[in-house]
Amino acid sequence: MPRPHAVVFLAYERFQVLDLTGPAAVFASANYILKCEAYAVSVVSPNGGLVASNSGIRFATLALTRMPTSRLDTFLVVGADEPDVRAAMVDPTLRRWLPRWVRRAGRFGSVCSGTFVLAALGLLKGKRVATHWEACDQLAAAFPALSVDANALYVVDGKVWTSAGVTTGIDMALAMVERDHGAQVAGSVAKRLVVYARRPGHQSQFSTLLSAQIRGDNPFVDLVDWIQSHLDHVLDVPTLAARAGLAERSFYRKFVAATGKSPAQFIEALRLDAARTLLARDLPIKAIAAAVGLQPRRLSAAFERRFGMSPQLFRGIHGMS
């Protein structure tokens, strides 16, 4: 039997419980699917012993200073609320021992705000990384040597794997299983965990559609749903106003108040989000443009303006070509 892939999670007081249990469940399910101990999961902390999560559940941990000296394959730092992350960033035991373990790992990274802990120790310089959407600006300001991708569920840059908010750790762990054992095994794990969909890392963690839907009593929720399924149609103000049963001026004013964007800005954002998702499929750019209601040249220009690169380059960077 081959040696199990050693996965180690670093926890600390009041850590986000799902940052650990979500990915750990993925690795445990992979063991079940593969009918062997493909992954051996353990949890460490600065001082070992019982460590309380933010939910109050306590986890038995090994001391970081007493980790086994055998090969370390995957090392992940979990996140927490800001005060607890800040305490971890200056913990003397973490500052002394974490870098040496990270450098020994085959791959390392973080879930959610755990990125701050690695960044504070200078372990992510020059890397493209992800973190929770609420903290992206703060991370970029605090550590200008990083390239913070606010439009990703998780990011892989060499041996560094970082994920965005909370449940995206599951998406990242599924991607790790796919890297280690193939898409079929990862798909079986997702199905066993009743994960709605295996989301690619480039998918936005906080979509334009979701932003519109959570703005209180949005009177245009039904219209937004209709727009989402008719992106290849003409979606100008007269069409949308008629659909909403409002005069054009009244519709425009109320739509901006409800969504924070003009109808044109909102629809372009939806179309670009949809195009980004379609790039994961083996479709030509012309077909993707038609599916989202844009001419290929206009799609390329708008995509580059929003994401800073062409659709072709985006597809290549994310391993879709």
Whether the model pTM is above 0.85:
no
Residue 12 has pLDDT above 70, yes or no: yes
Q: Is the CB of residue 239 less than 8 Å from the CB of residue 223?
A: no
Residue 33 has pLDDT above 50, yes or no: yes
The span from the CA of 164 to the CA of 166, in Å, is 7
**Comparison of pLDDT for 68 and 63, the residue scoring more:** 63
Residue-range domain boundaries for the chain: 5-192, 208-317
By C-alpha distance, which of 248, 225, 253, 221 is closest to 236?
Answer: 248
Q: Which amino acid is at 294?
A: L
By C-alpha distance, which of 237, 231, 235 is closest to 253?
Answer: 237
* pLDDT score for 310: 84
Q: Is the CB of residue 220 less than 8 Å from the CB of residue 244?
A: yes
The span from the CA of 23 to the CA of 38, in Å, is 14
Is the domain spanning 208-317 CATH 1.10.10.60? The answer is yes
Q: Is 128 helix (H, G, I), strand (E, B) or coil?
A: strand
Residue 109 has pLDDT above 90, yes or no: yes
Phi first, then psi, for residue 56 (nearest 5°) are 95, -15
Residue 240 has pLDDT above 80, yes or no: yes
Q: Is the CB of residue 199 less than 8 Å from the CB of residue 153?
A: yes
Is the domain spanning 5-192 CATH 3.30.420.40? The answer is no
Q: Is the CB of residue 136 less than 8 Å from the CB of residue 150?
A: yes
* pLDDT score for 319: 53
pLDDT digits (tens, 9 = 90+) for 167-215: 889 989 999 998 999 888 988 898 888 775 455 544 454 455 545 554 5
Least confident residue range of 10-19, 114-123, 277-286: 277-286
Location of structure tokens 């303006």: 305
The span from the CA of 38 to the CA of 209, in Å, is 38
* pLDDT score for 217: 59
By C-alpha distance, which of 141, 134, 139, 170 is closest to 153?
Answer: 170
Location of structure tokens 């992979």: 30
* pLDDT score for 165: 77
* pLDDT score for 312: 85
pLDDT digits (tens, 9 = 90+) for 269-283: 889 988 988 887 778
By C-alpha distance, which of 215, 79, 201, 92 is closest to 149?
Answer: 201
Residue 248 has pLDDT above 80, yes or no: yes
The span from the CA of 303 to the CA of 314, in Å, is 9
* pLDDT score for 214: 43
By C-alpha distance, which of 10, 5, 1 is closest to 46?
Answer: 10
* pLDDT score for 211: 53
* pLDDT score for 205: 46
* pLDDT score for 282: 74
